[in-house]
Amino acid sequence: MIKSISKLSQLILLLVLCFKLQAQEISIHISPFGNDQQEGTKENPVASIARAVQLVKELKTKQISDDTITVILHEGVYRLKQGIVLNAEDSGSEKYPIIYKSKEGEKVVISGAVPIDNYKLISHDHFLYKKDPEIGNKIIEIDLRRANISEFKPIRLSGFGGNEKPQPYILNEIYFNGKAMSLSRWPNKGFSEFTGVFSDSSGIEKLTAIHYEDDHISGWKNEPNIILHGYWKYLWADAYEHVSVLDTTYKLIWLKPPYNHYKFEKNRPFAAFNVIAEIDQPGEWAYNYKTGKVYFYPPENPSGGNIQLSTCKESLLAINNAKWISFSGITFEMGAAGGIQITNSNHISVINCVVHACTRDGVVMKGGNNNTISSCEIYDLGRGGIHVSGGNRETLEKSNFHIDNCHIHKLSRIDRTYTPGIWVDGVGTTITHCKIHDVPSSAMRINGNDHIVEFNEMYHVVTESDDQGAIDMWGDPTYRGNVFRYNYIHDTGPLVNDEINAHCGRAGIRLDDAISGNLVYGNIFKNCSGGSFGAIQIHGGKENLIQNNLFYQCENGISFTPWRLKQWKSYNKKSLEFFEKNKELYTQSYPNLVNINKKMNTNTIIQNVFLECENTSIRKPKVVVFERNLEVDKNPGFDNPENEKYGIDKMPESLKMIKFEAIPFEKIGLKNLK
């Protein structure tokens, strides 16, 4: 009898375990060829992500326990009219997260665009054809009404300095064979300059005009929606202005208010966009909101290509107040706004995804904790790559955000400045093994405390903007405890010509306007000193430790712009008020802050190697500690610096003298990225 009960117990236990294992493998299948009236099985998939989200809710309600639910997307393109939205009720749990993933080996695309099939060549009577028949014979006309767009408004963009603060905007863009095409631009390369600024205060609102010299501009008098992009005052702050009236008699371009935050200064660079008459390069397009038509010069015969128009005006994916959700192996593309938005959510993972070809930022994460973006490719965006804000600066509670092994490139095609590869605010974000390149401003912008940036590679960044660094910090002496370690920063600044004639410079790492108390250790800087900046630029800050770095072929290794105490106190008024409010916590965490208004410009530069650099430092204050640094004038005899780790192994005795520690060059950069 006892044996029978024992066998029965074992059988019941086995059945319970089998049931539990089965319960933990609940899956919902989606296919472009599915049907939302079906149950979402592998054999009978649903067709839309929205329906799958609803099924997840239903399963969570029906299940006795919180089982893991996996939503499997099968190969194909899922086109969105509205973005996917997940809220608190869509959450998983630590033990049973909700997983959205592509079927293994299949390509899944979530798209915010519609295909454009109805178009025609412009007629021989069109002014573009008459202007240049060879080009005109290739320009097509797209009637947006046939793409189910019924509302036509002028394009209005922003830029960093636009209208006090950057304003969110929507832009329906043209894509050809998966790549974003560009609004028509004049001049095709470089910039023009305006020679004067005029104002009219006779009306209710003060109006502003800029004076131009180039007669070519007078030909745009009848253009419906001219947009001017420029560095209107400072060469680090771009903005868009919108033309109201073109006065060809006095060569004045009257602009529509509101104007950019910094206003105007003559002889600054600008370019014109969305001028229909300037469509003269393959890939250019322009939009006439009065007729609802787009004119497009395809890079190749459109009959053999794929034309799409972005129409989704929301983030392709928005996660709000949720937790324990992951997305894996999915491509998000062609949104008329941004890619992914994560707000006040915890334990969210975006892994092995692609975000590209969107008008705004790739991934924006605000609030929450313990979120991860890993092994993603993020590129071809109108603004920046990843923008995160988390943690609490008043309590120094960390966000525990992790950005790891991401390839981020080809950014800022619309907003050119302050749209870096990665922007971090708050406390406690870790960035590792990322590769960032082809960005007109910074690769990274770091604000706040206790961030770790290590094992990353950055190059071909700060190619346009002035007064920036590949890694950039700015403006608050309480931004402390940040570590920049084992990064390879190389070949920064303009690729060919400096099109804006920068006044200040471009650095590898810029600690700007009072940034203090941070560690720069074990990094490699190659060819990343420009203008009056060194590879590292310290502007007004103190108590930074620059240790064990290698500077190679940098005109200036480290540059300084010292501050006086009066300037320090004046500039840092708000930061000092914040410090006084949180003094006990901050002095415990960062003991040097007891001297926040003392020891001006005291930074420590030790144990660094300067190889083939014209100057180890410039504008160095006497109070800087500069010890145990090695300067090597000539190449120590290697042919391939990168493969030979910059010759460090060829200088062992010299390195021992300064106690230089080996830099793990082979660990820097991307890991295996699928």
Residues 109-149: tens digit of each pLDDT? 999 999 999 999 999 999 999 999 999 999 999 999 988 88
Burial class of 221 by CB neighbour count within 10 A (0 to 12, 13 to 18, 19+): exposed
pLDDT at 12: 37
- 3 state SS for 57-102: HHHHHHCCCCCCEEEEECCEEEECCCCEEECHHHCCCCCCCEEEEE
The length of the chain is 674
Side-chain half-sphere CA neighbours of 37 within 13 A: 0
Q: Cα separation of 341 and 383, whole Å?
A: 14
pLDDT at 633: 85
pLDDT at 65: 55
Helix (H, G, I), strand (E, B), or coil: what is residue 228?
strand
Residue whose C-alpha is closest to residue 460's, from 483, 435, 434, 485: 435
Q: What is the value of pTM for the model shown?
A: 0.94
DSSP assigned state of 10:
H
Looking at the DSSP bridge assignments, the partners of residue 100 are 71, 327
Q: Cα separation of 355 and 406, whole Å?
A: 11
Q: Cα separation of 254 and 531, whole Å?
A: 34
What tokens were used for 50?
A: 């929205």
Q: Cα separation of 334 and 381, whole Å?
A: 9
- Residue ranges, CATH 2.160.20, the chain: 360-667
Q: Cα separation of 19 and 37, whole Å?
A: 27
C-alpha distance from residue 627 to each of 403, 413, 424, 547, 603 (Å): 35, 43, 32, 10, 11
Q: Give mean pLDDT, residues 358-365.
A: 98
Q: Cα separation of 288 and 284, whole Å?
A: 14
- Residue 9, pLDDT > 80, answer no
Q: Cα separation of 671 and 666, whole Å?
A: 10
Note whether 602 and 625 are within 8 A (CB): yes
Looking at the DSSP bridge assignments, the partners of residue 403 are 373, 431
How close are the terminal C-alpha atoms of the chain, in Å?
Answer: 58
Looking at the DSSP bridge assignments, the partners of residue 185 are 273
Q: Cα separation of 437 and 491, whole Å?
A: 10
Note whether 254 and 177 are within 8 A (CB): no
Q: Cα separation of 467 and 509, whole Å?
A: 11
Note whether 111 and 354 are within 8 A (CB): no
Residues 308-355: tens digit of each pLDDT? 999 999 999 999 999 999 999 999 999 999 999 999 999 999 999 999
Q: Cα separation of 352 and 361, whole Å?
A: 18
pLDDT at 67: 79
Note whether 330 and 110 are within 8 A (CB): yes
CATH tag for 360-667 (out of 2.160.20, 3.40.390, 2.40.160, 1.10.10): 2.160.20
> Can the peptide bond before residue 257 be classed as cis, meaning omega within 30 degrees of 0?
no
Q: Cα separation of 554 and 548, whole Å?
A: 16
CA torsion 593-596-598-599 (nearest 10°) is 60
Strands 140-143 and 119-121: antiparallel
Q: Cα separation of 383 and 419, whole Å?
A: 5
Q: Give mean pLDDT, residues 275-290.
A: 98
pLDDT at 168: 78
Q: Cα separation of 644 and 636, whole Å?
A: 11
Helix (H, G, I), strand (E, B), or coil: what is residue 103?
coil
Mean pLDDT, the chain, rounded, equals: 93
- Residue 674, pLDDT > 90, answer no
Residues 540-595: tens digit of each pLDDT? 999 999 999 999 999 999 999 999 999 999 999 999 999 999 999 999 999 999 99
C-alpha distance from residue 199 to each of 183, 204, 206, 499 (Å): 29, 13, 7, 28
- Residue 534, pLDDT > 90, answer yes
